């Protein structure tokens, strides 16, 4: 490259970057040779520059040998274009000007590469470590768990400002090409300024079709990612996020915990049944309470009917108001305990759950049975292993409650059928939401 | 614009739906639960019946087993209930009314169909309720408050149902079954008789109906035998006396089969075979395992006599609680099968065959 052109590029880059305080322009001299380096010190690893550029520069005597050293170094790339260089510069590379050459030296610092413990999807047995916040580390973790040559990695960027790097992983042999195409189309359509983490996609896809339920699974577990890759799913890794997105996901995946494959057969069957029972309980119990106490008390055993009537006798409001009050309190409590710092979280739940519940019954605002119902609903809601899904379920129970208030038991049945019909309609990237057995791609 | 109109429509129709909730919505604490219904013949009155409803008062742990009874004289159930409604503050709910007690005087009246079918016509009355005859009056039965009772009328529910005591002296009767027996030709209703004592309820006899009218009261032992014939209860006891030894067989299984045999030119008869398994529970003299067959024979003889006695007694009264007539009609496809049966039944002969198996003496020798 002619030296005047090198000079002009250098000046232009310097002009664009030097306003910021953390930009560094360094000149190194020996008798035979002269090198200039331009980088941003906050996102570049200066020890890497020191080890691979500065030290060899003073150790290697002749100018030709040093040029050969630079050209053969794996971290060094030749200059391509000015825009591309600028782009790389703000991501942490160093630009080296040596003789009439411009080199791009990869000195990006990777600050968040520590592997985190799982905090959201905890299991008793099985791997305990989750993903990290660094994209290369995550990819490494997954490749480590999924050593297949057919594992295909593509990358794209999302976000107008954030330009976040997103990697699309799939097993070439197992993936459904139609699903892959839909996923890519979806990613192309994403219109967002700041893209920070995969969970945002849940919201973005919702805006496009207003889905009540999530149709992709966000996980922090590399073992879940590996298992899903083997099932022919597409995995998205987002730079800077310790969560991976798995698509397409259906109800079965939301109700599965990684623990299921780490337990013996009957235990995991039992746990699955338990989860589905809990799921249905949290859905219909509030509605069922209203329907049975206010429309069809003959459904209770006589003893229970009398004790409910007795405990309700001091309550001034109709049953549905009672249920709504208590459910609202419970939602507040759940919400508050998420936001609160870990140190005072238990206090809040104790004060809220025990004292408030006790006081509410003493004051005659709600009946004893209601406290049991609300606690049962809250607990059974947490049985659903994937949080995004259990949040959705929290909403559906109000719809069923409203229908039960208006139509009694028929309303509960109607609400449940509507819920079922909605799930039948729903699909995740072409996969029906209620798919029980996921078929592998027929194209081998 | 179009979507806005659509949304407006949805919101309006939904809020209209919300206004509809008045019709069936009544909170459980605004209802008064009727636990049992008593119907007597009204005395010193122009009205026909005296209807008593026993209401449970819901309460906490401290106020358990509280109830009150409201009565009304009326010519029909509907009238009585409407009148009682004006005497109580909450909505009367019949959904937990599980026992209907009729007095003996009342079931001896002939035109009670209105009352019997009122129970079926009310949509909130469950037909799995028990029906019984109360003595001295139905009202007295409702008033009894047994010491062991935790909830109003629970003692009745437990003794009539299988949840509580199991005894061959109670032949309980569900309302739906009674309703069937009221109209079925060849199958007559029966009701257990509940006797109100001071602090106890005694249920050990049964009254047999000729359709809607009480005809015959069986004694306690006869009730037990009828129970055996109808295969209702396995846990029972046989009292046997042979020579000067008296022993009692505790039964574990009783199975009765019968067959109506009508041969041309011969007298029709019913072959009843009873199989009993059991052990010896009490005896006045030593019984050894070797001699068990002798005692089995004695028990068979005794049981045979008892069963035959009950069957003949029922036949003499011309009632049919066991359903011989229905069995006959189900096996004969003539147009006049019912008339034929009515002709045959008074002259039927019962051939009873009993087989008692005493598995052990109850002791280790």
Distance from CA of A412 to the nearest CA of B (A): 14
Could you read off the pLDDT of A408-426 as tens digits, one per residue? 888 899 999 988 998 888 8
Pair (B203, B224) in one structural domain: no
Res A443: pLDDT: 43
Residue A206, number of CB atoms within 10 A of its CB: 14
Please say if the pLDDT value at position B107 is more than 50. yes
Pair (A216, A292) in one structural domain: no
- B17 contacts A294? CB cut-off 8 A: no
- CB contacts of A315 in chain B (<8 Å) are 29
Q: Considering its fold, how many domains does chain B have in total?
A: 2
Pair (B264, B329) in one structural domain: yes
| Residue A73 located in a structural domain | yes
Of B217, B239, B254, the domain-final residue: B217
Whether A353 and A347 have beta carbons less than 8 Å apart is answered as no
Q: Report the distance separating Cα B216 and Cα B181, nearest Å.
A: 16
Distance from CA of B140 to the nearest CA of A (A): 23
Q: How confident is the model at residue B19 (pLDDT cuts 50, 70, 90)?
A: low
Res A444: pLDDT: 39
Pair (B238, B154) in one structural domain: no
| Residue B18 located in a structural domain | no
Pair (B136, B238) in one structural domain: no
- CB contacts of B157 in chain A (<8 Å) are 302
| Residue A353 located in a structural domain | yes
Res B22: pLDDT: 47
Shortest CB distance from B28 goes to which of A302, A309, A406? A309
- CB contacts of A406 in chain B (<8 Å) are 17-18, 20-21
- B124 contacts A302? CB cut-off 8 A: no
| Residue B297 located in a structural domain | yes
Question: Which H or E run contains A153?
Answer: strand A151-158
Whether A292 and A299 have beta carbons less than 8 Å apart is answered as yes
- CB contacts of A297 in chain B (<8 Å) are 28, 31, 33, 93, 95-96
Q: Considering its fold, how many domains does chain A have in total?
A: 3
Pair (A68, A195) in one structural domain: no
Give the C-alpha distances (Å, rounded to integers) separating B11 from A133, A176, A411, B1. Answer: 45, 42, 18, 15
Distance from CA of B33 to the nearest CA of A (A): 8
- CB contacts of B28 in chain A (<8 Å) are 293-294, 297, 305, 308-309, 312, 319
| Residue B3 located in a structural domain | no
Of B217, B239, B270, the domain-final residue: B217
Distance from CA of A339 to the nearest CA of B (A): 34
Structure tokens given for A176: 């459904």
Res B350: pLDDT: 92
Q: Which domain holds residue A101?
A: 3-105
Helices (H) and strands (E) in chain B, counts: 11, 14
Pair (B326, B288) in one structural domain: yes
Pair (B271, B319) in one structural domain: yes
Distance from CA of A198 to the nearest CA of B (A): 32
Of B199, B217, B235, the domain-final residue: B217
Could you read off the pLDDT of A89-101 as tens digits, one per residue? 887 888 888 888 8
Q: In which order are the strands placed within the sheet that holds A23-29?
A: A23-29, A34-40, A94-98, A101-105, A76-78
Phi, psi of A400 (to 5 degrees): -65, -40
- A305 contacts B28? CB cut-off 8 A: yes
- B35 contacts A309? CB cut-off 8 A: no
Which residue of chain A is at minimal alpha-carbon distance from B67? A306
| Residue B73 located in a structural domain | yes
Strand, helix or coil for residue A237: strand
Pair (A238, A363) in one structural domain: no
Res B102: pLDDT: 93
Whether B214 and B196 have beta carbons less than 8 Å apart is answered as no
Strand, helix or coil for residue A179: helix
Q: In which order are the strands placed within the sheet that holds B236-242?
A: B236-242, B245-261, B269-283, B349-360
| Residue B103 located in a structural domain | yes
Query: Burial level of B14, CB count in 10 A (0-12/13-18/19+)?
Result: exposed
Q: What is the percent of chain B with per-residue pLDDT over 70, rounded to a whole number?
A: 96
Q: Report the distance separating Cα A107 and Cα A41, nearest Å.
A: 10
Give the C-alpha distances (Å, rounded to integers) separating A50 from A37, A44, A54, A90, A94. Answer: 11, 11, 5, 19, 12
Interface contacts (A, B; CB < 8 Å): 70
Q: Which domain holds residue B361?
A: 219-365
Shortest CB distance from B29 goes to which of A296, A309, A405? A309
Res B34: pLDDT: 92
Question: Which H or E run contains A235?
Answer: strand A234-238
Q: Report the distance separating Cα A223 and Cα A227, nearest Å.
A: 6
| Residue A121 located in a structural domain | no
Please say if the pLDDT value at position A231 is more than 80. yes
- CB contacts of A298 in chain B (<8 Å) are 95-96, 124, 126
Nearest to A433 by CA among A274, A172, A209, A229: A209
Res B20: pLDDT: 58
Query: Burial level of A49, CB count in 10 A (0-12/13-18/19+)?
Result: buried
Pair (B199, B229) in one structural domain: no
Pair (A242, A343) in one structural domain: no
| Residue A434 located in a structural domain | no
**DSSP states of B293-355:** HHHHHHHHHHHHHHHHHHHHHHHHTT--SS-HHHHHHHH---TTHHHHHHHHGGG-EEEEEEE
Look up tokens 């257990």; give the residue: B192
Give the distance between the most distant pair of CA atoms in chain B: 103
């Amino acid at each position: 490259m002619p030296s005047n052109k090198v000079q002009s590029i250098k000046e232009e880059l310097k002009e664009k970057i030097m306003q910021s305080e953390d930009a560094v322009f360094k000149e190194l001299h020996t008798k035979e040779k002269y090198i200039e380096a331009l980088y941003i010190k906050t996102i570049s690893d200066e020890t890497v520059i020191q080890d691979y550029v500065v030290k060899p520069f003073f150790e290697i005597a002749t100018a030709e040998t040093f040029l050969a050293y630079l050209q053969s170094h794996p971290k060094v790339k030749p200059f391509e274009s000015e825009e591309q260089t600028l782009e790389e510069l703000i991501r942490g590379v160093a630009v080296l000007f040596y003789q009439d050459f411009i080199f791009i030296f990869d000195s990006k610092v990777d600050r968040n590469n520590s592997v985190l413990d799982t905090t959201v999807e905890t299991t008793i047995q099985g791997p305990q470590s989750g993903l990290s916040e660094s994209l290369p580390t995550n990819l490494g973790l997954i490749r480590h768990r999924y050593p297949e040559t057919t594992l295909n990695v593509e990358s794209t960027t999302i976000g107008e400002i954030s330009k976040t790097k997103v990697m699309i992983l799939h097993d070439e042999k197992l993936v459904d090409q139609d699903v892959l195409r839909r996923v890519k189309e979806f990613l192309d359509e994403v219109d967002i300024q700041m893209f920070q983490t995969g969970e945002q996609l849940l919201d973005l896809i919702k805006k496009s079709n207003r889905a009540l339920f999530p149709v992709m699974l966000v996980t922090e577990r590399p073992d879940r990612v590996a298992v899903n890759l083997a099932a022919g799913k597409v995995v998205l890794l987002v730079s800077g996020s310790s969560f991976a997105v798995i698509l397409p996901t259906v109800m079965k995946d939301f109700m599965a915990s990684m623990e299921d494959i780490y337990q013996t057969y009957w235990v995991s069957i039992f746990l699955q049944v338990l989860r589905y029972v809990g799921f249905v309980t949290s859905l219909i119990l509030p509605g069922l309470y209203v329907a049975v106490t206010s429309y069809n008390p003959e459904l209770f055993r006589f003893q229970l009917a009398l004790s409910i009537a007795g405990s309700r006798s001091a309550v001034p409001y109709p049953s549905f108001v009672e249920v709504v009050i208590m459910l609202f309190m419970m939602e507040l409590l759940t919400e508050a305990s998420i936001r609160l710092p870990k140190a005072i979280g238990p206090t809040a739940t104790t004060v809220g759950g025990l004292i408030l519940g006790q006081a509410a019954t003493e004051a005659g605002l709600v009946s004893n049975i209601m406290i049991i119902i609300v606690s049962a609903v809250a607990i059974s809601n947490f049985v659903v292993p994937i949080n995004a899904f259990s949040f959705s379920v929290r909403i559906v129970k109000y719809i069923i409650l409203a229908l039960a208030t208006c139509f009694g038991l028929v309303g509960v049945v109607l609400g449940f059928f509507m819920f079922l019909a909605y799930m039948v309609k729903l699909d995740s990237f072409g996969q029906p939401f209620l798919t029980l057995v996921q078929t592998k791609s027929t194209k081998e | 614009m179009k979507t806005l109109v659509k949304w407006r429509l949805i919101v309006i129709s939904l809020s209209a739906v919300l206004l509809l909730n008045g019709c069936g919505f009544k909170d459980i604490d605004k209802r008064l639960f009727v636990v049992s219904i008593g119907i007597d013949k009204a005395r010193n009155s122009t009205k026909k019946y005296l209807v008593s409803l026993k209401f449970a008062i819901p309460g906490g742990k401290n106020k358990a087993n509280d109830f009150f009874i409201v009565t009304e004289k009326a010519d029909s159930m509907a009238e009585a209930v409407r009148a009682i409604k004006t005497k109580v503050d909450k909505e009367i709910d019949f959904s937990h009314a599980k026992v209907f007690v009729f007095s003996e005087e009342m079931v001896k009246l002939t035109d009670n169909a209105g009352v019997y079918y009122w129970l079926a016509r009310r949509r909130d009355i469950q037909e799995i309720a028990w029906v019984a005859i109360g003595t001295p009056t139905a009202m007295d039965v409702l008033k009894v408050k047994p010491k062991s009772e935790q909830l109003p009328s629970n003692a009745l529910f437990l003794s009539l149902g299988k949840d509580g005591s199991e005894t061959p002296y109670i032949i309980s009767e569900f309302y739906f079954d009674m309703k069937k027996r009221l109209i079925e030709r060849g199958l007559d209703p029966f009701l257990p008789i509940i006797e109100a004592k001071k602090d106890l309820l005694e249920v050990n006899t049964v009254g047999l109906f000729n359709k809607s009218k009480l005809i015959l009261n069986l004694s306690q032992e006869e009730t037990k035998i009828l129970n055996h014939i109808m295969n209702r209860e396995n846990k029972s006891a046989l009292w046997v006396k042979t020579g000067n030894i008296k022993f009692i067989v505790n039964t574990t299984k009783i199975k009765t089969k019968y067959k109506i045999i009508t041969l041309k030119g011969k007298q029709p008869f019913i072959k009843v075979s009873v199989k009993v398994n059991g052990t010896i529970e009490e005896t006045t003299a030593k019984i050894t395992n070797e001699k068990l067959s002798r005692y089995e024979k004695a028990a068979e003889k005794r049981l045979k006599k008892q069963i035959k006695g009950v069957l003949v007694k029922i036949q003499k009264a011309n009632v049919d609680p066991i359903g011989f007539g229905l069995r006959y009609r189900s096996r004969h496809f003539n147009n006049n099968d019912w008339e034929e049966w009515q002709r045959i039944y008074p002259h039927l002969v019962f051939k009873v065959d009993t087989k008692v198996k005493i598995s052990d003496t109850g002791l280790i020798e």
